[in-house]
Amino acid sequence: MEVFKEIFPLQSYLQEHRKSGKSIGLVPTMGALHKGHLSLINEAIAEADVVVCSVFVNPTQFNNAADLDKYPRTLEDDLKLLEAAGCSAVFCPSVDEMYATLPVVKFDFGNLEKVMEGSFRPGHFNGVGIVVSKLFNIVNPDFAYFGQKDLQQYVIIAQMVSDLSFSVKLRRVPVFREASGLAMSSRNRRLSDAAKEQATSLYKALQLCKEYLHNGTDLDKLKRDAWKVMEENGVQVEYLEIVEPATLEPIENISAHKSVAICIAAYIEGVRLIDNEIIKLDF
């Protein structure tokens, strides 16, 4: 496995592979890797000839300086995991390498960034758009792999790819969960064992929503009871939204849709967690 900290050596490496007709897969991450990230690597290995994983804690997507400071950084362990997984190359640049000057370009994703995460994290998706577009330009991948746990991020990146005519094909990989149902996240390592147990209530709330949808329960009761499941476990719920998976538009009439996404954000021990489930309604 090759490790690159600078852009041009990485591009030279990839150019040689591209000359021989090999396809390139990109897995963008912020490090502190876990099995969920490795599921993205595995998907990439199954499809692409050369797999590049980026490890970069992107400062432009944090609207909370304390959150940026606390974000776990475990590069040495990350490299061991990636090598064992069969990753071809890792790109782990410094902030100065990625941002020689502060970007002045601003992304406006319209209504896509005004709901859910966008409502509570102003500027976040502008930072995501900037760093992902930079990675696409640096790596020029044939495929790029993103986790469904960050569903809103995936939808926004898909819009960016369409609007800016990036040639990359996006792949959305299902949420990877612990045995308890807790969605794997780098932030989980900041939780105590007791808090991890509390956090399983997010998954329980999602499963309740799924049950209610299949039973035809009205949406107001669905939201109220799912919210209660989390609050009774000491979870501070930020939002629970029922949206159309491709557009993130709020859903009021279930019968008009073939699938819905239940999206949750909540705080436990001051750590912000998100989760979601896409539920098919073909029943």
In percent, how much of the chain has pLDDT > 90? 91
Stated as kind and residue range, the H or E segment containing 221 is helix 219-231
Are 187 and 196 in contact by the 8 Å Cβ rule? The answer is no
Kindly tell me the burial class for residue 128, based on how many C-beta atoms sit within 10 Å of its own C-beta (0-12, 13-18, 19 or more). buried
- C-alpha 157/C-alpha 170 separation (Å) is 9
CA nearest neighbour of 135 among 26, 210, 209: 26
Of 48-57, 208-217, 251-260, the one with minimum mean pLDDT is: 251-260
- Taking residues 48-74, report their average pLDDT: 93
Q: What is the DSSP string of 149-203?
A: GGHHHHHHHHHHHHHHT--PEEEEEPPPB-TTSPBP-GGGGGS-HHHHHHHHHHH
Stated as kind and residue range, the H or E segment containing 21 is none
Question: In CATH terms, are 2-173 and 186-277 the same topology?
Answer: no
- For 2-173, CATH number out of 3.40.50.1820, 3.30.499.10, 3.40.50.620, 3.30.420.10 equals 3.40.50.620
| Residue 164: how many other CB atoms lie within 10 Å | 11
- C-alpha 121/C-alpha 133 separation (Å) is 20
Q: Following CA atoms 233, 180, 275, 169 in sequence, which dihedral angle do they give, to the nearest 10 degrees?
A: 180
Q: Are strands 259-268 and 271-280 parallel, antiparallel or unpaired?
A: antiparallel
**Average pLDDT of the chain to the nearest whole number:** 95
Residue 34 has pLDDT above 80, yes or no: yes
The pLDDT tens digits of the residues spanning 73-97 come to 999 999 999 999 999 999 999 999 9
Residue with the bigger pLDDT between 140 and 72: it is: 140
Q: What residue spans define the domains of the chain? A: 2-173, 186-277
Residue 209 has pLDDT above 80, yes or no: yes
Considering the domain 186-277, what is its CATH architecture?
A: 2-Layer Sandwich (3.30)
Name the DSSP class of 210. H
Position 263 confidence tier, pLDDT thresholds 50, 70, 90: very high
Catalytic residue among 17, 34, 37, 214: 37
Q: Looking at residue 283, what is its pLDDT? A: 53
Q: Looking at residue 257, what is its pLDDT? A: 87
Residue 282 has pLDDT above 80, yes or no: no
What's the start-to-end Cα distance of the chain, in Å? 47
- Is 214 assigned a catalytic role? no
How are strands ordered across the β-sheet holding 2-4?
2-4, 89-91, 50-55, 24-29, 143-147, 169-173
